[in-house]
């Protein structure tokens, strides 16, 4: 205990505050705070000397996908590969992870350029959650990471029953609506630009030749889904 207290006293006030937040969030005491500081550092942070969390996000995304796959494989022993793949994709998709991150309070921990109002409405908090998973893996190893994902993410925030019964393929929903109501529907790529090291796409939804909604993402599929969801909201089409 004394060693732990001495360690805390050696931290900066910002690190002490982050450590307390992490203990509550993770259910254990982190060892190497450098991983966690990096996990919450978005590339938009004005101080140029900081690295971003993108490499940790890459690592965490891969680990999350593997652990979710194992969890679903054991939970649904009689379901097909296609069913498991679809359910896994619904769990690990950026929108789901972003919602989980917001409910966990990760948005209050991420360091980003708050003058860019668009960032707070993007998926940076879900990306930070994936980076946090990468940090936990490097700091604590696979077993602790698996426990964190299963207990603090999936069982705490993922409603599998609701997810199974809800159609979250917004593009398919919108196509079905257009067919039922005899409307011509097209997806149009409105913009492609580099966002730091990655390409950012903007896709528009046109109903009978008129753009009614847009969405952005790091690939056209993701941007199309966001645009379709926005179109469904604008058209007041119920989900599922």
- Look at the block and give the residue holding tokens 């109903």: 207
| pLDDT of 49 above 60 | no
- Cα angle, residue 73 at apex, residues 69 and 76 outer, rounded to 5°: 130
- 134 and 206 part of one domain: no
Q: What's 151's DSSP letter?
A: I
Catalytic residues: 61, 130
Distance CA 84, CA 181 (A): 32
Contact 213, 230 (CB under 8 A): yes
Distance CA 136, CA 73 (A): 23
Residues 6+ apart with CB under 8 A from 188: 203, 204, 205, 206, 211
CA nearest neighbour of 36 among 104, 153, 146, 132: 132
CATH value at residue 58: 1.10.1520.10
**Span 81-96, average pLDDT:** 86
| pLDDT of 48 above 70 | no
State percent of the chain over pLDDT 70. Answer: 82
Is residue 93 included in any domain, yes or no? Answer: yes
Structural domain range at position 220: 170-235
- 52 and 114 part of one domain: yes
CATH value at residue 195: 3.30.160.20
pLDDT in tens, 182-210: 989 899 999 888 876 667 889 999 999 89
* The last residue of a domain, from among 150, 165, 180: 165
Number of compact structural domains in the chain: 2
- 183 and 154 part of one domain: no
- 117 and 11 part of one domain: yes
The pLDDT assigned to 232 comes to 87
Tell me, yes or no, if the pTM score tops 0.75.
no
Distance CA 209, CA 206 (A): 5
Mean pLDDT of the chain: 84
Alpha-carbon torsion, ordered 178, 182, 184, 187, to 10 deg:
10
pLDDT in tens, 101-149: 999 999 888 886 666 666 556 678 899 999 999 999 999 999 999 999 9
């Amino acid at each position: 205990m004394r060693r732990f207290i001495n360690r805390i006293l050696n931290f900066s006030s910002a690190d002490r505050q982050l450590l307390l937040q992490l203990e509550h969030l993770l259910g254990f005491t982190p060892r190497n705070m450098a991983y966690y500081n990096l996990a919450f550092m978005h590339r938009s942070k004005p101080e140029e000397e900081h690295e971003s969390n993108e490499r940790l996000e890459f690592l965490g995304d891969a680990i999350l996908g593997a652990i979710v796959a194992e969890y679903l494989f054991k939970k649904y022993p009689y379901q097909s590969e296609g069913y498991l793949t679809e359910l896994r994709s619904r769990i690990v998709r950026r929108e789901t992870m972003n919602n989980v991150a917001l409910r966990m309070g990760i948005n209050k921990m991420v360091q980003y350029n708050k003058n860019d109002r668009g960032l707070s409405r993007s998926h940076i908090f879900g990306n930070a959650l994936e980076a946090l998973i990468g940090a936990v893996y490097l700091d604590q190893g696979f077993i602790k990471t698996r426990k964190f994902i299963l207990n603090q993410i999936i069982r705490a925030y993922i409603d599998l029953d609701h997810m199974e019964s809800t159609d979250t393929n917004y593009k398919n929903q919108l196509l079905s609506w257009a067919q039922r109501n005899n409307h011509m529907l097209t997806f149009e790529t409105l913009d492609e630009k580099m966002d730091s090291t990655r390409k950012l796409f903007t896709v528009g939804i046109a109903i009978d030749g008129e753009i009614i909604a847009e969405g952005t993402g790091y690939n056209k599929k993701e941007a199309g889904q966001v645009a379709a969801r926005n179109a469904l909201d604008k058209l007041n089409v119920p989900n599922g």
